[in-house]
Structure 1
Amino acid sequence: MANNLLQGKRGIIFGAMDEDSLAWKIALKVIEEGGDLVLTNAPVIKRFGSLEKLAESVGKKIIYADATSVEELDHLITESQEILGGKLDFVLHAIGMSVNVRKKKEYTDLNYDWMQKTFDVSAISFHKLMQCLYKADAMNEWGSIVALTYIAAQRTFPDYSEMAESKSLLESFARSFGYHFAAKKVRVNTISQSPTITTAGSGIKGFDEFFNYADKMSPLGNASSEACADYTVSLFSDLTRMVTMQNLYHDGGFSNMGMNPAILGM
Protein backbone atom coordinates (compact mmCIF):
# COMPACT_ATOMS: atom_id res chain seq x y z
CA MET A 1 0.00 0.00 0.00
CA ALA A 2 1.42 3.37 -1.04
CA ASN A 3 1.94 6.05 1.61
CA ASN A 4 3.13 8.93 -0.61
CA LEU A 5 6.53 8.81 1.11
CA LEU A 6 8.17 10.50 -1.87
CA GLN A 7 5.44 12.93 -2.84
CA GLY A 8 7.05 15.94 -4.52
CA LYS A 9 10.52 14.37 -4.61
CA ARG A 10 12.54 13.84 -7.79
CA GLY A 11 15.66 11.96 -8.72
CA ILE A 12 17.70 9.73 -11.00
CA ILE A 13 17.71 5.93 -11.12
CA PHE A 14 20.85 4.34 -12.56
CA GLY A 15 20.99 0.75 -13.75
CA ALA A 16 17.53 -0.37 -14.88
CA MET A 17 17.85 -2.73 -17.83
CA ASP A 18 14.80 -4.99 -17.91
CA GLU A 19 11.80 -5.86 -15.76
CA ASP A 20 13.92 -8.11 -13.51
CA SER A 21 16.43 -5.36 -12.65
CA LEU A 22 16.59 -4.26 -9.03
CA ALA A 23 16.81 -0.68 -10.29
CA TRP A 24 13.55 -1.13 -12.21
CA LYS A 25 11.74 -2.52 -9.16
CA ILE A 26 13.00 0.48 -7.19
CA ALA A 27 11.88 2.88 -9.92
CA LEU A 28 8.36 1.41 -9.83
CA LYS A 29 8.22 1.76 -6.04
CA VAL A 30 9.44 5.38 -6.25
CA ILE A 31 6.64 6.17 -8.69
CA GLU A 32 4.10 4.34 -6.52
CA GLU A 33 5.18 6.49 -3.56
CA GLY A 34 4.67 9.71 -5.51
CA GLY A 35 8.20 10.41 -6.70
CA ASP A 36 9.25 11.61 -10.14
CA LEU A 37 12.36 10.33 -11.86
CA VAL A 38 14.63 10.06 -14.84
CA LEU A 39 16.05 6.68 -15.84
CA THR A 40 19.61 6.26 -17.05
CA ASN A 41 21.94 3.53 -18.21
CA ALA A 42 24.85 3.10 -20.60
CA PRO A 43 24.01 3.47 -24.31
CA VAL A 44 24.98 -0.19 -24.90
CA ILE A 45 21.85 -1.21 -22.97
CA LYS A 46 19.79 -0.22 -26.01
CA ARG A 47 21.01 -3.47 -27.61
CA PHE A 48 20.50 -5.78 -24.65
CA GLY A 49 17.66 -4.57 -22.47
CA SER A 50 14.06 -3.44 -22.75
CA LEU A 51 14.46 -0.09 -21.00
CA GLU A 52 12.74 1.88 -23.77
CA LYS A 53 9.52 -0.12 -23.38
CA LEU A 54 9.69 0.03 -19.59
CA ALA A 55 10.16 3.80 -19.57
CA GLU A 56 7.29 4.24 -22.01
CA SER A 57 5.03 2.10 -19.79
CA VAL A 58 5.40 4.59 -16.91
CA GLY A 59 5.81 7.75 -18.97
CA LYS A 60 9.34 8.55 -17.80
CA LYS A 61 12.36 9.89 -19.70
CA ILE A 62 15.62 8.04 -20.33
CA ILE A 63 18.91 9.87 -20.60
CA TYR A 64 21.62 7.49 -21.73
CA ALA A 65 24.99 8.15 -20.16
CA ASP A 66 28.27 6.34 -19.60
CA ALA A 67 28.67 6.47 -15.81
CA THR A 68 32.46 6.34 -16.17
CA SER A 69 32.45 9.64 -18.11
CA VAL A 70 32.43 12.84 -16.05
CA GLU A 71 31.29 14.82 -19.08
CA GLU A 72 28.30 12.55 -19.66
CA LEU A 73 27.42 12.56 -15.96
CA ASP A 74 27.49 16.36 -15.92
CA HIS A 75 25.14 16.43 -18.92
CA LEU A 76 22.85 13.85 -17.30
CA ILE A 77 22.60 15.82 -14.05
CA THR A 78 21.91 19.12 -15.83
CA GLU A 79 19.31 17.67 -18.21
CA SER A 80 17.60 15.68 -15.44
CA GLN A 81 17.08 18.85 -13.40
CA GLU A 82 15.61 20.56 -16.45
CA ILE A 83 13.21 17.66 -17.08
CA LEU A 84 12.21 17.28 -13.43
CA GLY A 85 11.98 20.99 -12.68
CA GLY A 86 14.61 21.49 -10.02
CA LYS A 87 17.28 19.99 -7.81
CA LEU A 88 17.33 16.28 -6.98
CA ASP A 89 16.10 14.58 -3.81
CA PHE A 90 17.36 11.06 -4.48
CA VAL A 91 19.84 9.17 -6.65
CA LEU A 92 20.27 5.40 -6.98
CA HIS A 93 23.55 3.87 -8.16
CA ALA A 94 22.79 0.27 -9.18
CA ILE A 95 25.70 -0.43 -11.51
CA GLY A 96 28.03 -3.43 -11.57
CA MET A 97 29.95 -5.27 -14.26
CA SER A 98 32.95 -7.60 -14.48
CA VAL A 99 34.31 -8.76 -17.81
CA ASN A 100 36.41 -11.33 -15.94
CA VAL A 101 33.25 -12.84 -14.45
CA ARG A 102 31.45 -12.74 -17.79
CA LYS A 103 34.31 -14.52 -19.50
CA LYS A 104 34.71 -16.95 -16.58
CA LYS A 105 38.29 -15.99 -15.77
CA GLU A 106 39.47 -17.56 -12.52
CA TYR A 107 40.42 -15.18 -9.69
CA THR A 108 43.98 -16.50 -9.81
CA ASP A 109 44.25 -15.70 -13.53
CA LEU A 110 42.52 -12.34 -13.97
CA ASN A 111 42.98 -10.00 -16.88
CA TYR A 112 44.12 -6.77 -15.21
CA ASP A 113 42.84 -4.49 -17.94
CA TRP A 114 39.42 -6.02 -17.39
CA MET A 115 39.86 -5.65 -13.63
CA GLN A 116 40.47 -1.91 -14.01
CA LYS A 117 37.32 -1.72 -16.12
CA THR A 118 35.40 -3.51 -13.36
CA PHE A 119 36.57 -1.00 -10.77
CA ASP A 120 35.78 1.96 -13.01
CA VAL A 121 32.27 0.80 -13.91
CA SER A 122 31.25 -0.75 -10.59
CA ALA A 123 32.87 1.55 -8.03
CA ILE A 124 34.78 4.57 -9.32
CA SER A 125 31.65 5.58 -11.25
CA PHE A 126 30.00 6.10 -7.86
CA HIS A 127 32.67 8.59 -6.81
CA LYS A 128 32.46 10.32 -10.20
CA LEU A 129 28.68 10.56 -9.85
CA MET A 130 28.87 12.01 -6.35
CA GLN A 131 31.61 14.45 -7.32
CA CYS A 132 29.53 15.69 -10.25
CA LEU A 133 26.45 16.07 -8.03
CA TYR A 134 28.52 17.85 -5.37
CA LYS A 135 30.18 20.31 -7.75
CA ALA A 136 26.88 21.09 -9.46
CA ASP A 137 25.13 21.56 -6.09
CA ALA A 138 22.43 19.37 -7.62
CA MET A 139 21.01 17.80 -4.44
CA ASN A 140 18.33 19.36 -2.27
CA GLU A 141 18.86 19.51 1.49
CA TRP A 142 18.01 16.17 3.13
CA GLY A 143 18.47 14.45 -0.19
CA SER A 144 19.57 10.83 -0.31
CA ILE A 145 22.14 8.98 -2.42
CA VAL A 146 22.07 5.17 -2.30
CA ALA A 147 24.25 2.52 -3.94
CA LEU A 148 23.64 -1.23 -4.02
CA THR A 149 26.37 -3.54 -2.74
CA TYR A 150 26.91 -7.10 -1.51
CA ILE A 151 28.42 -8.80 1.55
CA ALA A 152 31.29 -10.13 -0.57
CA ALA A 153 32.86 -6.77 0.32
CA GLN A 154 33.40 -8.20 3.82
CA ARG A 155 33.48 -11.97 3.31
CA THR A 156 34.94 -14.33 0.74
CA PHE A 157 32.70 -15.62 -2.05
CA PRO A 158 35.21 -17.05 -4.57
CA ASP A 159 33.00 -16.95 -7.64
CA TYR A 160 32.24 -13.24 -7.09
CA SER A 161 35.82 -12.57 -8.18
CA GLU A 162 37.14 -8.99 -8.24
CA MET A 163 33.61 -7.66 -7.88
CA ALA A 164 34.22 -8.21 -4.13
CA GLU A 165 37.02 -5.64 -4.09
CA SER A 166 34.90 -3.37 -6.24
CA LYS A 167 32.08 -3.44 -3.68
CA SER A 168 34.57 -2.75 -0.88
CA LEU A 169 35.71 0.35 -2.74
CA LEU A 170 32.11 1.39 -3.40
CA GLU A 171 31.28 1.21 0.31
CA SER A 172 34.40 3.18 1.21
CA PHE A 173 33.41 5.93 -1.23
CA ALA A 174 29.99 6.13 0.43
CA ARG A 175 31.57 6.71 3.83
CA SER A 176 34.18 9.18 2.62
CA PHE A 177 31.92 11.25 0.37
CA GLY A 178 29.11 10.90 2.89
CA TYR A 179 31.17 13.01 5.27
CA HIS A 180 31.52 15.81 2.71
CA PHE A 181 27.88 15.64 1.61
CA ALA A 182 26.76 15.94 5.23
CA ALA A 183 27.78 19.61 5.08
CA LYS A 184 25.06 19.99 2.45
CA LYS A 185 22.60 17.97 4.58
CA VAL A 186 22.67 15.12 2.05
CA ARG A 187 22.80 11.45 3.06
CA VAL A 188 24.94 8.75 1.41
CA ASN A 189 24.39 5.05 2.18
CA THR A 190 24.86 1.61 0.67
CA ILE A 191 22.42 -1.30 0.84
CA SER A 192 23.98 -4.76 1.07
CA GLN A 193 21.29 -6.84 -0.61
CA SER A 194 20.73 -10.61 -0.55
CA PRO A 195 21.55 -12.55 -3.71
CA THR A 196 18.68 -11.58 -5.98
CA ILE A 197 17.42 -13.17 -9.18
CA THR A 198 18.18 -10.59 -11.86
CA THR A 199 19.49 -10.80 -15.42
CA ALA A 200 22.93 -9.63 -14.27
CA GLY A 201 23.08 -11.77 -11.13
CA SER A 202 22.11 -14.93 -12.94
CA GLY A 203 25.27 -14.62 -15.05
CA ILE A 204 27.51 -15.35 -12.05
CA LYS A 205 28.98 -18.86 -11.99
CA GLY A 206 27.06 -21.16 -9.62
CA PHE A 207 24.41 -18.51 -8.96
CA ASP A 208 21.57 -20.97 -8.27
CA GLU A 209 23.58 -22.81 -5.60
CA PHE A 210 24.74 -19.46 -4.24
CA PHE A 211 21.15 -18.19 -4.03
CA ASN A 212 19.83 -21.35 -2.36
CA TYR A 213 22.63 -21.41 0.20
CA ALA A 214 21.95 -17.82 1.25
CA ASP A 215 18.22 -18.50 1.38
CA LYS A 216 18.73 -21.40 3.80
CA MET A 217 21.35 -19.59 5.90
CA SER A 218 19.19 -16.47 6.34
CA PRO A 219 16.62 -16.83 9.17
CA LEU A 220 14.09 -14.81 7.17
CA GLY A 221 15.22 -16.14 3.80
CA ASN A 222 16.61 -13.98 1.00
CA ALA A 223 15.25 -10.46 0.70
CA SER A 224 13.31 -10.13 -2.55
CA SER A 225 13.78 -7.40 -5.13
CA GLU A 226 10.40 -5.96 -4.13
CA ALA A 227 11.51 -5.81 -0.49
CA CYS A 228 14.73 -4.12 -1.59
CA ALA A 229 12.65 -1.51 -3.39
CA ASP A 230 10.67 -0.85 -0.21
CA TYR A 231 13.87 -0.48 1.82
CA THR A 232 15.46 1.84 -0.73
CA VAL A 233 12.38 4.07 -0.76
CA SER A 234 12.61 4.32 3.04
CA LEU A 235 16.17 5.65 2.63
CA PHE A 236 14.99 8.14 0.01
CA SER A 237 12.22 9.34 2.33
CA ASP A 238 12.25 11.89 5.14
CA LEU A 239 11.85 9.07 7.68
CA THR A 240 15.61 8.36 7.58
CA ARG A 241 16.99 11.91 7.61
CA MET A 242 19.72 11.14 10.15
CA VAL A 243 21.00 7.93 8.54
CA THR A 244 24.20 8.46 6.56
CA MET A 245 27.60 6.90 5.82
CA GLN A 246 26.15 3.46 6.62
CA ASN A 247 26.39 0.07 4.94
CA LEU A 248 22.94 -1.35 5.68
CA TYR A 249 22.38 -5.09 5.42
CA HIS A 250 19.13 -6.09 3.76
CA ASP A 251 19.62 -9.83 3.72
CA GLY A 252 17.15 -11.63 5.97
CA GLY A 253 19.72 -11.88 8.75
CA PHE A 254 22.44 -13.61 6.69
CA SER A 255 25.16 -11.15 7.75
CA ASN A 256 24.82 -12.09 11.44
CA MET A 257 24.64 -15.86 11.03
CA GLY A 258 27.45 -18.27 11.83
CA MET A 259 25.72 -21.59 11.15
CA ASN A 260 22.13 -22.52 10.44
CA PRO A 261 21.00 -26.14 11.01
CA ALA A 262 18.87 -25.80 7.86
CA ILE A 263 22.09 -25.95 5.82
CA LEU A 264 22.84 -29.37 7.31
CA GLY A 265 19.35 -30.64 6.62
CA MET A 266 18.59 -30.82 10.35
Structure 2
Amino acid sequence: MKKFNNKVAIVTGGNSGIGYATAQELIAQGAKVIITGRRKEALEKAAQALGAIPFVADQAELGDIDKLVAAVKEFHGNVDILFVNAGIVGESTLIESASAENFDQVMNINFRGAYFTLSKFIPILNDGASVVMLSSIVATMHQPSSSIYQASKAALNSISKTAANELAPRKIRVNMISPGPTQTEVMNKSGMDETTVKGIMDHLTNIIPLKKIGKPEDVAKLVSYLSDDAASFITGSEFIIDGGLTL
Protein backbone atom coordinates (compact mmCIF):
# COMPACT_ATOMS: atom_id res chain seq x y z
CA MET A 1 0.00 0.00 0.00
CA LYS A 2 1.26 3.48 -0.88
CA LYS A 3 1.82 5.71 2.13
CA PHE A 4 -0.60 8.46 1.07
CA ASN A 5 -3.50 6.28 -0.05
CA ASN A 6 -6.82 7.97 0.80
CA LYS A 7 -5.01 11.23 1.64
CA VAL A 8 -6.04 14.59 0.19
CA ALA A 9 -3.26 17.04 -0.64
CA ILE A 10 -3.25 20.67 -1.79
CA VAL A 11 -0.31 22.13 -3.72
CA THR A 12 -0.52 25.84 -4.49
CA GLY A 13 1.36 26.93 -7.58
CA GLY A 14 1.37 23.33 -8.77
CA ASN A 15 1.60 23.76 -12.53
CA SER A 16 5.40 24.15 -12.74
CA GLY A 17 8.70 23.86 -10.90
CA ILE A 18 8.74 22.72 -7.28
CA GLY A 19 4.95 22.62 -7.06
CA TYR A 20 4.67 20.35 -10.11
CA ALA A 21 7.41 18.01 -8.87
CA THR A 22 5.80 17.81 -5.43
CA ALA A 23 2.36 17.05 -6.85
CA GLN A 24 3.96 14.32 -8.95
CA GLU A 25 5.68 12.81 -5.90
CA LEU A 26 2.56 12.88 -3.73
CA ILE A 27 0.46 11.31 -6.48
CA ALA A 28 3.08 8.59 -6.92
CA GLN A 29 2.63 7.86 -3.21
CA GLY A 30 -1.15 7.49 -3.59
CA ALA A 31 -2.48 10.94 -2.64
CA LYS A 32 -5.38 12.71 -4.30
CA VAL A 33 -3.80 16.04 -5.23
CA ILE A 34 -5.46 19.36 -6.03
CA ILE A 35 -3.10 21.86 -7.70
CA THR A 36 -3.73 25.58 -8.03
CA GLY A 37 -2.40 28.24 -10.34
CA ARG A 38 -3.31 31.54 -11.97
CA ARG A 39 -2.96 30.47 -15.62
CA LYS A 40 -5.91 28.27 -16.57
CA GLU A 41 -4.39 26.71 -19.69
CA ALA A 42 -1.04 25.91 -18.07
CA LEU A 43 -2.78 24.58 -14.95
CA GLU A 44 -5.09 22.25 -16.85
CA LYS A 45 -2.23 20.98 -19.00
CA ALA A 46 -0.16 20.21 -15.89
CA ALA A 47 -3.09 18.56 -14.13
CA GLN A 48 -3.75 16.30 -17.10
CA ALA A 49 -0.10 15.24 -17.27
CA LEU A 50 0.06 14.61 -13.52
CA GLY A 51 -3.31 13.05 -12.90
CA ALA A 52 -4.07 15.91 -10.51
CA ILE A 53 -7.21 18.00 -10.01
CA PRO A 54 -6.85 21.62 -11.22
CA PHE A 55 -8.34 24.66 -9.50
CA VAL A 56 -7.70 28.13 -10.92
CA ALA A 57 -6.84 30.43 -8.02
CA ASP A 58 -4.57 33.40 -7.41
CA GLN A 59 -2.95 33.17 -3.98
CA ALA A 60 -2.97 36.97 -3.79
CA GLU A 61 -6.77 37.05 -4.01
CA LEU A 62 -8.50 36.16 -0.76
CA GLY A 63 -11.75 35.51 -2.60
CA ASP A 64 -9.99 32.84 -4.68
CA ILE A 65 -8.74 31.18 -1.50
CA ASP A 66 -12.28 31.14 -0.08
CA LYS A 67 -13.59 29.49 -3.26
CA LEU A 68 -10.76 26.94 -3.20
CA VAL A 69 -11.41 25.95 0.42
CA ALA A 70 -15.16 25.68 -0.17
CA ALA A 71 -14.70 23.51 -3.29
CA VAL A 72 -12.18 21.23 -1.59
CA LYS A 73 -14.48 20.77 1.40
CA GLU A 74 -17.51 20.04 -0.80
CA PHE A 75 -15.92 17.65 -3.27
CA HIS A 76 -12.97 16.11 -1.42
CA GLY A 77 -13.59 16.49 2.30
CA ASN A 78 -10.89 17.43 4.77
CA VAL A 79 -7.21 17.89 3.89
CA ASP A 80 -4.23 15.83 5.07
CA ILE A 81 -1.36 17.64 3.33
CA LEU A 82 -1.13 21.37 2.59
CA PHE A 83 1.91 22.56 0.63
CA VAL A 84 1.89 26.35 0.35
CA ASN A 85 4.29 26.72 -2.53
CA ALA A 86 3.14 29.60 -4.74
CA GLY A 87 5.45 32.61 -4.74
CA ILE A 88 7.27 35.16 -6.85
CA VAL A 89 10.64 36.91 -6.69
CA GLY A 90 9.49 40.30 -7.96
CA GLU A 91 11.74 43.06 -9.23
CA SER A 92 15.35 43.39 -8.07
CA THR A 93 15.75 46.93 -6.79
CA LEU A 94 17.59 48.78 -4.06
CA ILE A 95 15.44 49.96 -1.16
CA GLU A 96 15.74 53.57 -2.30
CA SER A 97 14.36 52.62 -5.73
CA ALA A 98 11.60 50.25 -4.59
CA SER A 99 8.06 50.76 -5.83
CA ALA A 100 4.91 50.29 -3.80
CA GLU A 101 3.50 48.23 -6.67
CA ASN A 102 6.32 45.66 -6.51
CA PHE A 103 6.17 45.59 -2.69
CA ASP A 104 2.44 44.90 -2.74
CA GLN A 105 2.67 42.26 -5.45
CA VAL A 106 5.41 40.26 -3.71
CA MET A 107 3.93 40.57 -0.23
CA ASN A 108 0.38 39.82 -1.41
CA ILE A 109 1.45 36.49 -2.89
CA ASN A 110 4.41 35.40 -0.77
CA PHE A 111 3.21 36.51 2.66
CA ARG A 112 -0.40 37.74 2.82
CA GLY A 113 -1.63 35.07 0.40
CA ALA A 114 0.34 32.29 2.08
CA TYR A 115 -0.85 33.46 5.52
CA PHE A 116 -4.52 33.40 4.57
CA THR A 117 -4.19 30.17 2.62
CA LEU A 118 -3.07 28.56 5.86
CA SER A 119 -5.63 30.48 7.92
CA LYS A 120 -8.59 29.51 5.77
CA PHE A 121 -7.56 25.85 5.41
CA ILE A 122 -7.08 25.27 9.14
CA PRO A 123 -10.78 24.45 9.78
CA ILE A 124 -10.71 21.66 7.18
CA LEU A 125 -7.32 20.20 8.07
CA ASN A 126 -7.59 16.75 9.60
CA ASP A 127 -6.07 16.30 13.03
CA GLY A 128 -2.53 15.06 12.43
CA ALA A 129 -2.29 16.84 9.07
CA SER A 130 0.99 18.16 7.66
CA VAL A 131 1.52 21.74 6.49
CA VAL A 132 4.68 22.62 4.59
CA MET A 133 5.50 26.21 3.68
CA LEU A 134 7.96 26.90 0.88
CA SER A 135 10.37 29.51 2.17
CA SER A 136 13.89 30.26 0.89
CA ILE A 137 17.43 30.62 2.16
CA VAL A 138 17.04 34.36 1.44
CA ALA A 139 14.90 34.63 4.60
CA THR A 140 18.11 34.88 6.62
CA MET A 141 20.18 36.72 4.00
CA HIS A 142 20.44 40.44 3.46
CA GLN A 143 21.66 40.87 -0.10
CA PRO A 144 21.23 44.22 -1.84
CA SER A 145 18.35 44.60 -4.33
CA SER A 146 16.33 41.76 -2.76
CA SER A 147 14.91 43.39 0.37
CA ILE A 148 11.22 42.81 -0.42
CA TYR A 149 11.56 39.16 -1.41
CA GLN A 150 13.82 38.45 1.56
CA ALA A 151 11.39 40.15 3.94
CA SER A 152 8.43 38.21 2.55
CA LYS A 153 10.13 34.89 3.27
CA ALA A 154 11.35 35.98 6.72
CA ALA A 155 7.77 36.92 7.61
CA LEU A 156 6.54 33.57 6.29
CA ASN A 157 8.97 31.71 8.55
CA SER A 158 7.80 33.69 11.56
CA ILE A 159 4.11 32.91 11.13
CA SER A 160 4.87 29.28 10.28
CA LYS A 161 6.51 28.78 13.66
CA THR A 162 3.60 30.47 15.43
CA ALA A 163 1.20 28.22 13.51
CA ALA A 164 3.18 25.15 14.56
CA ASN A 165 2.65 26.16 18.19
CA GLU A 166 -1.04 27.00 17.75
CA LEU A 167 -1.87 23.79 15.90
CA ALA A 168 0.18 21.40 18.04
CA PRO A 169 -2.84 20.45 20.22
CA ARG A 170 -4.43 18.98 17.09
CA LYS A 171 -1.17 17.20 16.17
CA ILE A 172 -1.01 19.29 13.00
CA ARG A 173 2.61 19.86 12.09
CA VAL A 174 3.88 22.98 10.30
CA ASN A 175 7.35 23.00 8.80
CA MET A 176 9.32 25.14 6.36
CA ILE A 177 11.57 24.18 3.48
CA SER A 178 14.13 26.76 2.39
CA PRO A 179 15.73 25.86 -0.94
CA GLY A 180 18.80 27.48 -2.35
CA PRO A 181 19.28 27.83 -6.11
CA THR A 182 16.90 25.43 -7.85
CA GLN A 183 16.27 24.68 -11.51
CA THR A 184 12.85 26.32 -11.95
CA GLU A 185 11.32 29.07 -14.10
CA VAL A 186 11.22 31.60 -11.26
CA MET A 187 14.12 33.74 -12.50
CA ASN A 188 12.85 33.72 -16.07
CA LYS A 189 9.47 34.87 -14.78
CA SER A 190 11.18 37.79 -13.03
CA GLY A 191 12.10 39.21 -16.43
CA MET A 192 15.69 37.98 -16.81
CA ASP A 193 16.77 36.71 -20.22
CA GLU A 194 18.22 33.23 -20.79
CA THR A 195 21.82 34.49 -21.00
CA THR A 196 21.53 36.31 -17.66
CA VAL A 197 19.91 33.31 -15.97
CA LYS A 198 22.61 30.96 -17.30
CA GLY A 199 25.33 33.29 -16.06
CA ILE A 200 23.82 33.38 -12.59
CA MET A 201 23.40 29.59 -12.48
CA ASP A 202 26.97 28.99 -13.66
CA HIS A 203 28.27 31.33 -10.97
CA LEU A 204 26.17 29.66 -8.27
CA THR A 205 27.30 26.19 -9.34
CA ASN A 206 30.89 27.29 -8.81
CA ILE A 207 30.31 28.61 -5.29
CA ILE A 208 27.99 25.87 -4.00
CA PRO A 209 30.08 23.29 -2.09
CA LEU A 210 28.32 20.34 -3.79
CA LYS A 211 28.95 22.02 -7.20
CA LYS A 212 25.43 21.61 -8.51
CA ILE A 213 22.08 23.36 -8.64
CA GLY A 214 19.13 21.84 -6.82
CA LYS A 215 16.28 20.12 -8.63
CA PRO A 216 12.56 20.50 -7.87
CA GLU A 217 12.49 16.77 -7.11
CA ASP A 218 14.87 17.34 -4.18
CA VAL A 219 12.29 19.54 -2.50
CA ALA A 220 9.42 17.25 -3.51
CA LYS A 221 10.94 14.29 -1.70
CA LEU A 222 11.43 16.38 1.43
CA VAL A 223 7.79 17.53 1.36
CA SER A 224 6.78 13.89 1.06
CA TYR A 225 8.94 12.91 4.03
CA LEU A 226 7.64 15.75 6.21
CA SER A 227 4.07 14.74 5.38
CA ASP A 228 4.58 11.12 6.37
CA ASP A 229 4.19 9.51 9.78
CA ALA A 230 7.99 9.09 9.83
CA ALA A 231 8.17 12.84 10.58
CA SER A 232 5.45 12.80 13.26
CA PHE A 233 7.80 14.35 15.87
CA ILE A 234 8.91 17.24 13.63
CA THR A 235 7.17 20.61 13.71
CA GLY A 236 8.17 24.28 13.59
CA SER A 237 11.40 23.33 11.85
CA GLU A 238 13.12 24.90 8.87
CA PHE A 239 14.96 22.63 6.46
CA ILE A 240 17.75 24.18 4.41
CA ILE A 241 18.27 22.44 1.07
CA ASP A 242 20.98 24.41 -0.71
CA GLY A 243 23.97 22.17 -1.41
CA GLY A 244 25.88 23.83 1.41
CA LEU A 245 25.68 27.36 0.00
CA THR A 246 24.90 28.96 3.37
CA LEU A 247 27.52 27.04 5.36
TM-score (norm 2): 0.88
Distance 1:171-1:209 versus aligned 2 partners, 3 A rule? farther
The equivalences for 1:41-56 within 5 A come to: 41-42=37-38, 45-46=39-40, 50-56=42-48
Tell me the residue number matched to 2:35: 39
CA drift of 1:156 comes to 2.5
2:245 counterpart of 1:222: no
For residues 53 and 65 of structure 2, what CA distance do their matches in structure 1 show? 16
2:233 counterpart of 1:247: no
Query: How much identity, in percent, do the aligned residues show?
Result: 22
Tell me the residue number matched to 2:78: 87
CA drift of 1:62 comes to 1.3
Judge which range, 25-34 or 194-203, deviates more. Answer: 194-203
For residues 187 and 209 of structure 1, what CA distance do their matches in structure 2 show? 39
CA drift of 1:224 comes to 1.5
2:108 counterpart of 1:112: no
Tell me the residue number matched to 2:18: 22
Instruction: Output one character per residue of 1:77-117: Cα deviation in whole Å (capped at 9) or x when no partner.
Output: 12113332x21110111122254x1xx54443010232022
Distance 1:64-1:161 versus aligned 2 partners, 3 A rule? same
Residues 93, 146 of structure 2: 8 Å contact kept: no
Instruction: Output one character per residue of 1:29-82: Cα deviation in whole Å (capped at 9) or x when no partner.
Output: 11111111111123xx23xx6221121223332111232333331221121133
CA drift of 1:203 comes to 4.0
Residues 34, 52 of structure 2: 8 Å contact kept: yes
Distance 1:83-1:57 versus aligned 2 partners, 3 A rule? farther
Residues 5, 33 of structure 1: 8 Å contact kept: yes
Tell me the residue number matched to 2:229: 238
Unaligned runs of 5+ in 2: none
CA drift of 1:175 comes to 0.8
For residues 42 and 62 of structure 2, what CA distance do their matches in structure 1 show? 25
Residues 11, 37 of structure 1: 8 Å contact kept: yes
For residues 235 and 142 of structure 2, what CA distance do their matches in structure 1 show? 26
For residues 105 and 167 of structure 1, what CA distance do their matches in structure 2 show? 17
Q: Partner letter of residue 225 of structure 1?
A: P
Residues 180, 241 of structure 2: 8 Å contact kept: yes
